[in-house]
Amino acid sequence: MRKACSRLKFFSAVFFFPMRSLLGRIGLRYDLPSIANAYYRDAFHRIPVRDRAVILPHCLISEKCQARFSKDDGVLCVRCKKCNCGEVYSLCQERGWQFYITPSTGFTKRLVQRKGIRAAVGAACDFEIAKGVRSTPITFRGVRVKQSRVIPQVVLTDRYDCLKNDLDWGALKGIILDGIME
């Protein structure tokens, strides 16, 4: 019964997301990332850590970032401490997770396939989430990315800003730490 309720809540949250502005006007607001994270959390924890990744968007890196770009791995963070990405990279390495900084959604999808990622923590703004909901099949067993299926956890970025964005870094680290303590 609990599982059925959780599924219904998740399904409704995804289904009605494109109408969120309209629903907001009549006082119905909800947080899709929180609902999705709660729904997928157990499945996420069942994926071996080596197949989990943090995949961050390039909008989170410092404007002064000197990292090189690799066609295979995205932005190659050198942990210069000019932004918080390096700290998350270190945490991922400690815990055995993969870590990437990606320049685009298309790159992220190819990355997931190439690296055999089965569970991913991503960060996105409301605009990108809406785009993802429209263009990516979201199922009860994960998000379909080409031939693969990935179990997601999402942290909302502070705003819609491709150059100078931020997020709740504590929440992001919490997902990584929680994932290892099951």
Q: Which residues bind ligand SF4 (CB under 6 A)?
A: 61-62, 65, 67, 77-83, 85-86, 101
Shortest Cβ 84–ligand SF4 spacing (Å): 7
User: Could you tell me the smallest distance in angstroms from the CB atom of residue 58 to ligand SF4?
Assistant: 9
Cβ 150 vs Cβ 143: under 8 Å: yes
The Cα–Cα gap between 30 and 13 comes to 8
Phi first, then psi, for residue 176 (nearest 5°) are -65, -45
CB of 104 to ligand SF4, least distance (A): 16
Q: Least distance in Å: CB of 93 to ligand SF4?
A: 13
C-alpha span between 24 and 114 (Å, rounded): 39
Nearer to ligand SF4, 59 or 117 (CB): 59
* Residue number with CB closer to ligand SF4 (74 or 142): 74
**Residue 81 vs 164, nearer CB to ligand SF4:** 81
- What are the structure tokens assigned to 127, written together? 């605009």
Which one, 83 or 145, has the nearer CB to ligand SF4? 83
Q: Which helix (H) or strand (E) holds 149?
A: strand 148-156
User: Measured at the alpha carbon of residue 118, what is the angle toward residues 37 and 175, in degrees to the nearest 5?
Assistant: 35
For tokens 């071996």, the residue is 48
Which lies closer to ligand SF4 via its Cβ, residue 8 or residue 78? 78
Rounded to a whole number of angstroms, the minimum distance from the CB of residue 179 to ligand SF4 is: 22
